[in-house]
Amino acid sequence: MNREVRVRFAPSPTGPLHIGGVRTALYNYLFAKKHGGKMLLRIEDTDQKRFVPGAEEYISEALEWIGIKIDEGTQIGGPHAPYRQSERKHIYRQYAEKLIADGNAYYAFDTDQELEEMRKRLEAAKVVAPSYNSITRMQMKNSLTLPDDEVKRKLAAGEPYVIRLKVPRKEEIRLHDLVRGWVMVHSSSIDDKVLMKSDGMPTYHLANVVDDHLMQITHVIRGEEWLPSAPLHVLLYKFLGWEESMPQFAHLPLLLKPDGNGKLSKRDADAGGFPVFPLDWKDPQTGEIYMGFREQGYLPEAITNFLALLGWNPGTEQELFTMDELIENFSIERISKAGAKFDINKAKWFNQQYLRKIPDTELAQTLKKQLEEKKIPHSSYNMEKIVSLIKERIVFHSDVWKEALFFFIAPQQFDPESVRTKWSSEAANIIAEFKKALNNLTDIKAENIKTILHQTAESSGLKIGKVLPALRLAITGAIAGPDLMAIIEILGKDETIARINYALQNINHKIPT
């Protein structure tokens, strides 16, 4: 069986795509590209009640942002179009009917109340796992228990019904999972799953098997939450006569909360102050805000790299990977089995790494744009120089302007605590001297500035460490920052002197003893 590798990412449009979903998509993509195959995007919108407008667009945009290119899917079409299950509605029915004809499925007419009563009855009888199964189905209203003519009559009368899979009573279902090995499940632990809903839509179980078969999917790579229903899907492939071409399964470990228990959720994100969604999203119904990695200043390359290594590793000590390198190195065999806790610190570290790779020219453009957006006037300073100075100090792309702000806005007031610890009348005197020397300096270069500062400080017998923090405070308004000499060089003579004058006049000279 040497088929072209075809994988799919099949989210349902019920809201913003979760970061775990992004990882699933990424692994699918890496696997497909590694084997020169195709990546499909299929929208599983069979639950009309949960449909959320805009969610599908969000999914596409998120995948594009992260760098995943779709070969076939809703937006671009393809040989198996349509790729939206709601538009494929007419396809599923025939397969459900084939199942019924072969005696592998049946019509069921039970109402919600009747199902509820059954559950209560079973619970009262202390049945361990109450479900609609090979035993209980014989007490329910379905085409197995009702006379044929009554079934026909009900169908003809348009009574609501569902189609349920007739799960065999005693059968060992074996499933080979690419990451977990053989998984064995007994059919008695599976219930008679609904295949077609009363609204005429298929459930996930049917739709997913039919579509995967029709779209010639070779590998189903999805989250571990699907593992319990995978045997059911195997059963479906068998009943539909598609066992030979059944895709291989790989169930991915889940992304867990940072502090231990459970699947990563929006709550964790809000509590921890970090995103778990790729892009910002505002729920159209509730107005709730979901923050995205993109808007928080994370680079797509960093998120891709971070995500790739959450649950997979190349077996080498390489940490930084481009998408192409990931594709080259990826293999399902190296996916780990255990769930991975989501550690935002690692994401930040990756972000920092990728931020440093951005050329200064590009970052300078970013800075300009951000200043314009913030309506901060920016004079003719050399943006590239500024950016190269602050580059190593920031984690987020979106923070460039914050770190550079003091270049464009001269300090108006001075933090009293900083003044108390760093300012002194001796320092102020030196600064005044330094100002004069600076005024006489013709070539405003960092090294020259350093020389004259040393000269003025030493001539008064004061250590440079005493005066520099004060000078920094005067010029930038802060007591920490990049190399002061380089700052002065960028600011230029006039601006520096103006700032010194302002500080000298506005900082209280009296030093508490």
Residue 201 found at the interface with RNA (CB under 7 A): yes
Closest CA to 488 of 450, 460, 462, 459: 450
Residue 360's identity, in one-letter code, is: D
Residue 276, token pair as written in the block:
């778990």
Q: CA-CA distance, 240 to 261, in Å (whole number)?
A: 39
Q: Does 346 bind RNA (CB under 7 A)?
A: yes
Say whether residue 112 binds RNA (CB under 7 A).
Answer: yes
Work out how close the CB of 70 gets to RNA at its nearest, in angstroms, rounded to a whole number: 17
How long, in residues, is the chain? 513
Residues 22-51 that bind RNA (CB under 7 A): 44, 46-47, 50
Q: Taking CB under 7 A as the rule, does residue 218 contact RNA? A: no
Q: Which amino acid is at 9?
A: F
Buried residues in 49-82 as b, exposed as e (16+ CB within 10 A) = eeebeebbebbbebbebbebebbbbbeeebebeb
Separation between Cα atoms, residue 207 and residue 189, nearest integer Å = 22
Binding footprint of RNA, residue count (CB under 7 A): 81
Least Cβ distance, residue 72 to RNA (angstroms): 18
Q: Dihedrals φ, ψ of 422, to 5°?
A: -110, -20
> Of residues 455-494, which lie at the interface with RNA (CB under 7 A)?
464-465, 468-469, 472, 479-486
Q: Give the residues across from 165 on adjacent strands.
A: 105
- Main-chain dihedrals φ then ψ at residue 434, nearest 5 degrees: -60, -35
In angstroms, rounded to a whole number, what is the distance separating the alpha carbons of residues 127 and 120? 10
Cβ proximity to RNA: between 39 and 394 the closer is 394
Kindly tell me which residue out of 75, 86, 134, 198 binds RNA, with binding defined by CB under 7 A: 198
DSSP SS3 for 265:
coil
Q: Which is nearer to RNA, 2 or 482 (CB)?
A: 482
For tokens 């361990």, name the residue: 128
254 binding RNA? (CB under 7 A): yes
Give ∠ CA 270-273-275 in degrees, rounded to 5.
Answer: 75
Contact call for residue 211 and RNA (CB under 7 A):
no
Catalytic residues, which ones? Answer: 266
Per CB under 7 A, the list member of 75, 86, 229, 365 interacting with RNA is 229
Two tokens, residue 73: 């899917």
Minimal distance, residue 227 CB to RNA, in Å: 5
Spatial separation of the C-alpha atoms in residues 136 and 118, rounded to whole Å:
8
329 binding RNA? (CB under 7 A):
no
**Toward RNA, which CB reaches closer, 350 or 372?**
350
Q: Could you tell me where the DSSP H helices lie in 167-321?
A: 204-214, 230-239, 266-272, 300-308
Given 24, 60, 74, 131, the residue binding RNA (CB under 7 A): 131
Q: Does residue number 284 form part of the binding site for RNA (CB under 7 A)?
A: no
Question: Quick check: 77 binds RNA (CB under 7 A)?
Answer: no
89, 393, 445, 493: residue in contact with RNA (rule CB under 7 A)? 393
Cβ of residue 112: shortest distance to RNA, in angstroms? 6
* Cβ nearer to RNA, comparing 377 with 465: 465
Beta carbon of residue 372, minimum distance to RNA (angstroms, whole number): 26
139 touching RNA, by CB under 7 A = no
Among 80, 263, 385, 445, binds RNA (CB under 7 A): 263
Q: State in angstroms the smallest separation of the CB of 9 from RNA.
A: 11
Residue 83, both tokens: 């790729």
| Those residues with Cβ within 8 angstroms of residue 153's Cβ, 6 or more apart along the chain or in another chain | none
Kindly tell me which of 1 and 125 has the beta carbon lying closer to RNA: 125
From 32, 63, 162, 371, residue interacting with RNA (rule: CB under 7 A) = 162
CB of 375 to RNA, least distance (A): 26
Q: Which of residues 175-194 bind RNA (CB under 7 A)?
A: 180-181, 183-186, 189, 191, 194
Q: 111-126: buried (b, 16+ CB within 10 Å) or exposed (e) per residue?
A: eeeeeeebeeebeeee
60 scored as a contact of RNA (CB under 7 A): no
Pick from 4, 57, 87, 392 the residue near RNA by CB under 7 A: 392
Sign, CA torsion 205/207/208/209 = positive
Told to check if 424 binds RNA by CB under 7 A, we report no
Q: How far is the CB of 113 from RNA (least distance, A)?
A: 10
